Amino acid sequence: MCTAEDYPVRAAARARTPAGLDARLVRCRVCPRLVAWREETARVGRAAFRGQEYWGRPVPGFGPPDAALLISGLAPAAHGGNRTGRMFTGDRAGDLLYATLYELGLASRETVTGPDDGLELYGVRVTAPVHCAPPDNRPTPGERDACRPWLAREARLLRPTLRSVVVLGGFGWQAALPALGEAGWLVPRPRPKFGHGVRTVLAPASPDDPALTVFGSYHVSQRNVFTGRLTREMLREVLAEAARTAGLPVEPVEPVEPPAPG
């Protein structure tokens, strides 16, 4: 029997498949602040979603169990993944991410609304280092570290097929590298610095395992998009390169012609 404090470590270690990991993850209550926030947000809701039942629990990863590309964000949004129960679903950040994956031929739909919309990802799995919605979208370092066993185990379970990772944002970068180290790859010291378009190759701890290429991208937050720090083209370029590195086929994107004058 796991206590509340050691539940992530022991429960994650017992998972033998991503589905088994997800089943354990959604029962986690180790971070009191996050549990209170996710459940209060689910109880109160938002007027725009009146009548909808919120998920209000940890949000598991989404995608096939043999993914070659893993995309890791920050944490579920209070009225996005915390409402729908699926990573990056129900908010504008997710709209951009999934629409870009669709353009590249890595997703079955351009628009996503909820877990019953028929969305499929092809060779791609989407996850986060923190699985509960945090107040102000800001988990604490302690909450990040408490949640690390889930990400580490998820990456380890994907290791036979995983070839590249895209990490969204600096917080996610700081969380992902230690988790990938625990999952069986060698993280250089000092750790590589985050930046958009940065890539680093992690050698496997075992010579029989493949190396892993980790890409950095600015987060797909509304703030980054509204300020122009991240454009759709910038995101598409990183995702396309990561997919190619993972051996996934990528659809060419036709350039948009400017309208004719007059």
Per-residue pLDDT, 193: 96
139: left (phi over 0), alpha (psi -120 to 50) or beta: beta
pTM: 0.93
Q: How far apart are the first and last CA of the chain?
A: 72
Please state, for a pLDDT cut of 70, what percent of the chain lies above it. 94
User: What is the mean pLDDT of the segment spanning 173-200?
Assistant: 97
Residue 256, C-beta contacts closer than 8 angstroms, at least 6 positions apart: none
Measured CA to CA, the distance from residue 227 to residue 244 in angstroms comes to: 29
Report whether pLDDT(190) > 90.
Answer: yes
User: What is the mean pLDDT of the segment spanning 130-134?
Assistant: 98
CA atoms within 13 A on the CB side of 113: 5
Q: Over the stretch 144-161, which tens digit does the pLDDT of each residue have?
A: 999 999 999 999 999 999
Per-residue pLDDT, 246: 98
Range with the poorest average pLDDT among 7-11, 92-96, 255-259: 255-259
Per-residue pLDDT, 3: 43
Q: Over the stretch 19-68, which tens digit does the pLDDT of each residue have?
A: 999 999 999 999 999 999 999 999 999 988 988 999 999 999 999 999 99
124 near 18, Cβ under 8 Å? no
How, if at all, do strands 164-168 and 124-127 pair?
unpaired
Report whether pLDDT(225) > 70.
Answer: yes
pLDDT band per the 50, 70, 90 thresholds, residue 261: low
